[in-house]
Amino acid sequence: MKRLTNKQIETKAKIEIFSRIFGVDPKWATAIAFTESSLGLNQKSPTHCRGVFQMSTIAMKDLLYEMEKIDDDLIDIVCGIAFLRLLQKRWVSIEDATAHYCDPNDRSFYISKVLKLMEEI
């Protein structure tokens, strides 16, 4: 492998950490990611795949569908946190992001409950 940029080194480290958490060979995961996107440097795909692993929407839907069958809290937690990150990037404030996490009919109750729990935690 050629000399890596700082961005590639950071991405490789993240892949190694999460690979170990999920019980996936870190070398395999890194090799796939490097093949797909040069560890995040080349993320454009003519087939509309996205990210370091160039995941297609079909692959993501398959993962989410399989989560219902597999009682795997770790995948659920990682996907949930990733979704919260997406909401926070989109809506910036915790309140606005929370408002878009719940049912629109429950927003004021839900936001109040989450903010109160955040103070207690």
- Give the count of beta carbons closer than 10 Å to the beta carbon of residue 99: 18
- Give the count of beta carbons closer than 10 Å to the beta carbon of residue 30: 20
Q: Which of 88, 90, 67 is nearest to 77 (CA)?
A: 67
The pTM assigned to this predicted structure is 0.72
Q: What is the full per-residue pLDDT of the chain (121 aa) written as tens digits? A: 679 999 999 999 999 999 998 889 999 999 999 999 999 877 778 888 888 999 888 888 888 888 777 777 778 778 888 889 999 999 999 999 999 999 999 999 999 999 999 999 9
Compute the half-sphere exposure of residue 48: CA atoms within 13 Å on the CB side of its CA: 4
- Give the count of beta carbons closer than 10 Å to the beta carbon of residue 28: 11
> Are the C-beta atoms of residues 30 and 16 closer than 8 Å to each other?
yes
> Tokens representing 62?
């398959």
Torsion angle defined by CA atoms of residues 73, 24, 21 and 43, in that order, rounded to the nearest 10 degrees: -90
> Are the C-beta atoms of residues 20 and 26 closer than 8 Å to each other?
yes
